[in-house]
Structure 1
């Protein structure tokens, strides 16, 4: 969270797998109830309904304004950032992002969605919050994660933001994004999870818990039979090869370009890529995009840009 005049800039990375702010990360899941749940940790109360934040798994929706869940998850994200500085009333500007090639079409809708209430009152984890949402600033995903250090990038680079739902790719020359080289594909890490689940069932006739899949994808190992681990690893390696095949189709040359990898997919490349990684830079901070949104918003506001 950044302080700008009398307002606070809060960056929110609305991922399909996790919601990230500059200082927090939680699962993109939400369970609603008309009555207070018995287990009420991470509970949001809004308009007389109860929501357990981080519970369950949200279905992939290319259009994030189709339901109210991303709005509710945003309220929880705001509460977490405000709580860090013991603030419970604030005038804020939300800095957020959309997939590269979707941002132009969806920007207006997503902006209106996030600022649907000028003033909003809610309770999170037993604490009441009164928030004014003065504006929303939307940026293309991918670039935000490298924006704070883009000025130091030299030569030709490609940025691959590999999230849970999508893979966003852009080219940069001396750190400056190049128009006409922006790509968004539904090839996020969840596609790897689905492939592992399907392959495992087909070859073993057994279901595989997502916890095990996630553990292997993050760490490259887990305490399971070696034959099961090899099966999961083989699918993960195939998925990672698919990432580089798509990059090459978009003109990526490992010999002349530096690849910057952001998002959760970076750990899969680190674990399962068989090629040379000397020209690959991993942006390992899971909150890098949210911090980048705040950085870009603060920079533009200081330059006199207005917010919507």
Structure 2
């Protein structure tokens, strides 16, 4: 059994949830950002929660990109599912929770308060996951900057000038670190996540062949750089991926990235794409492929903030 690193403050568990546009992540669980509401108990799926008189199949379907995660109840329901899955991992069915979550770098200031209110709308929550009852008390919520929180514990390792790039499904977050110190005036959020590559692959194949490529095949390709399809399809997907990564690097150069003057640290679901299809200096580029890094970082960062306050 893997070790669970738990941050606890006065009997309250600090629990990180990374509400990504492609996947929802906790420190130890990952599942697709998909949700289907049902009026009756699902027959085939076991991945559902029962909450407030309805059933929600988790991880099915696909939620499109939205800049405001509070525009419907989906993110709230997915957060409850994430809490239940993480508590299951920890062998708990009841817990006091301080939620530790994040938003893209340049959206935190504008959306922090409303996102906190959105996620703490109910203090006491009762739900059922895998036919097990969970009783959760959400005592508070801290909203942090995505990307930066993931490296907060290791800032001392970032010597000199570093460019931190967090490529998610919906957005790419970019931040400069000078000897581990973030430069707030040099941080940006771009809608250039992996989903852009997904859409372009789908369109390229449709334009060339008239065939709608199944989502599962594209997702496999984005994850592994390969897929069990004919060479003509695979070649077309690789061309799109290479063009997408080239665009990523061009955007970084627009923000004054120079590999001779700084190191590059790439994380998030898109890090694999950059590693497979990008052209970069291997000696000055680091890839972090742990897609739970933000969720883990939220817990650590939140714990340190609360400890400092206390």
Pairwise TM-score range, normalised by the shorter structure: over 0.9
Q: Distance in 2 between matches of 1:271 and 1:161?
A: 16
Aligned to 1:64: 69
Give CA-to-partner distance per residue, 1:53-102, whole Å, 9 cap, x none: 11111111110000111111111111111122221111110000001111
| 2:39 is the counterpart of 1:21 | no
| 2:187 is the counterpart of 1:189 | no
Measured on the aligned residues, the alpha-carbon RMSD in Å equals 1.0
| 2:213 is the counterpart of 1:212 | no
Aligned to 1:105: 110
Counterpart secondary structure, 1:105: helix
Q: Distance in 1 between matches of 2:308 and 2:90?
A: 26
* Pairing 1:63-102 to 2, within 5 Å after superposition: 63-102=68-107
Shift of 1:117: 0.3
Q: Distance in 1 between matches of 2:280 and 2:286?
A: 14
How many residues align? The count is 305
Aligned to 1:131: 136
Counterpart secondary structure, 1:182: strand
Counterpart secondary structure, 1:294: helix
Shift of 1:244: 0.4
> Unpaired runs of 5+ in structure 1?
none
Shift of 1:282: 0.6
Q: Distance in 1 between matches of 2:250 and 2:155?
A: 25
> Unpaired runs of 5+ in structure 2?
1-5
Q: Distance in 2 between matches of 1:271 and 1:213?
A: 15
Aligned to 1:122: 127
Pick from 60, 68, 76 the counterpart of residue 55 of structure 1.
60
Q: Normalized against structure 1, the TM-score is what? A: 0.97
CA contact under 8 A between 1:145 and 1:262: conserved in structure 2? no
CA contact under 8 A between 1:44 and 1:51: conserved in structure 2? yes
* Pairing 1:5-44 to 2, within 5 Å after superposition: 5-44=10-49
